[in-house]
């Protein structure tokens, strides 16, 4: 069984977006996102899986996200993606088919080290609902950047409340040392502040 990691920045009420964009501008947090999703052993790449709305929300000059295999899901099989010479980019009409690609190494791409679901709300929900009985791939880790303040109560898109939900699959918060060991680099601990916005880097795991 292969594993997926969700990476997300969310307020305490799980707000993740507003007007088709991120509600905040946090350059250092964005660097963390880029470093986490890019870091892979020599000769390997990570994959980032995203829904069509998230793809469109990424500034054109940053997409496809460099040094990562980009997989976009859209029910519209004719959806047009503008590729970039060196960055692998794939369109899949379902999450299951996107995941099948991960488990079927292509001869042209480098081997995949880790796969990240990078949003948005629909893909977070759909991937969190994958269960070992029906899917060869499940989410067992969430890299959550918790936006502590302000509240951003104008958010119009939310991630599912994974902590308050269900009883069978319990999410546990990992220690900061475990977070650093997993991402493979030093991460600032405790409350961070950028542009007057307070946040914290967290990692949550569950048994598959």
Q: Which residues bind ligand FOL (CB under 6 A)?
A: 7-9, 22, 29-31, 33-34, 54, 57-59, 62, 65-66, 118-119, 145
CA nearest neighbour of 15 among 159, 204, 200: 159
- Closest approach of Cβ 66 to ligand FOL, in Å? 6
| Distance in angstroms (rounded) separating the CA atoms of residues 15 and 30 | 17
- Closer CB to ligand FOL, 62 or 185, in the complex: 62
- Closer CB to ligand FOL, 8 or 72, in the complex: 8
- Closer CB to ligand FOL, 35 or 131, in the complex: 35
- Closer CB to ligand FOL, 29 or 140, in the complex: 29
- Closest approach of Cβ 118 to ligand FOL, in Å? 4
- Closest approach of Cβ 167 to ligand FOL, in Å? 27
Helix (H) or strand (E) holding 34: helix 27-38
| Distance in angstroms (rounded) separating the CA atoms of residues 157 and 92 | 23
**Do the beta carbons of residue 50 and residue 120 sit within 8 Å?**
yes
- Closest approach of Cβ 33 to ligand FOL, in Å? 4
């Amino acid at each position: 069984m292969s594993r997926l990691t969700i990476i997300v920045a969310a307020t305490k009420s799980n707000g993740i977006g507003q007007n088709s964009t991120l509600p905040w501008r946090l350059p250092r947090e964005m660097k963390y996102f880029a470093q986490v999703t890019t870091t892979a052993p020599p000769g390997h790449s990570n994959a980032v899986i995203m829904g069509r709305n998230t793809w469109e929300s990424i500034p054109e000059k940053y997409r496809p996200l460099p040094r990562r295999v980009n997989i976009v899901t859209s029910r519209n099989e004719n959806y047009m993606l503008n590729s970039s010479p060196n960055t692998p980019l794939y369109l899949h009409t379902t999450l299951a088919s996107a995941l099948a690609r991960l488990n079927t190494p292509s001869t042209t791409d480098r081997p995949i080290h880790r796969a990240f679901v990078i949003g948005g709300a629909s893909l977070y929900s759909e991937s969190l609902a994958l269960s070992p009985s029906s899917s060869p791939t499940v989410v067992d880790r969430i890299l959550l950047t918790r936006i502590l303040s302000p509240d951003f109560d104008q958010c119009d898109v939310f991630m599912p409340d994974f902590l308050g939900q269900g009883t069978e699959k319990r999410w546990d918060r990992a220690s900061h040392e475990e977070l650093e060991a997993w991402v493979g680099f030093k991460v600032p601990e405790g409350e961070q502040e950028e542009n007057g916005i307070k946040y914290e880097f967290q990692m949550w795991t569950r048994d598959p």
